[in-house]
Amino acid sequence: MPKELGYKHGNMEPSIQHHNQPENYKCQVRIMDDPDAMEAVGKVWVHDLRYINASVEEVVEGKNDFGELGYGGPAPPDKRHTYIFKAYVLDVELDLKEGYSKQELEDAMKGHIIAEAKLTGTYAP
């Protein structure tokens, strides 16, 4: 199983690798969002949703708030924003269809998170 959730889009996506995860995991999940967007657009802006099941090693992407699948890079409309990358390791494989929402992903993960990590960064226009 690759340690990296594969990326296919441009926009200078970060290469985030997962280390020291439990051996018995079934799925890796990544969510990237921008909580600072709440002030500008009235909601936490979702930039990336993806998961990869251990048995198939294929990334399944959700729909971001740009209306696209996969990664959408930082694009603050007003000032410096903080972006949060959240990585999860689950004890079950997911069966969500491409284009799923953040809510659908979080609902599917409930009760199955065995490890998690968070990375934050900032970007200004």
Listed by start position, the domains of the chain span 27-123
Amino acid at position 73, single letter: G
105 by Cβ neighbours in 10 Å (0-12 / 13-18 / 19+) ranks as buried
**pTM for the whole structure:** 0.85
- The dihedral over CA atoms of 27, 113, 98, 30, expressed in degrees to the nearest 10, equals -90
Average pLDDT over residues 98-110: 98
What pLDDT score does 46 carry? 97
Given 3.40.1360.10, 3.40.640.10, 3.90.280.10, 1.10.1660.10, which CATH number is that of 27-123? 3.90.280.10
* pLDDT 10s digits, 36-92: 999 999 999 999 999 999 999 899 999 999 999 989 988 888 899 999 999 999 999
pLDDT at 10: 44
Quick: pLDDT tens for 1-37.
333 444 344 466 777 776 777 888 999 999 999 999 9
Show the tokens assigned to 16: 């985030």
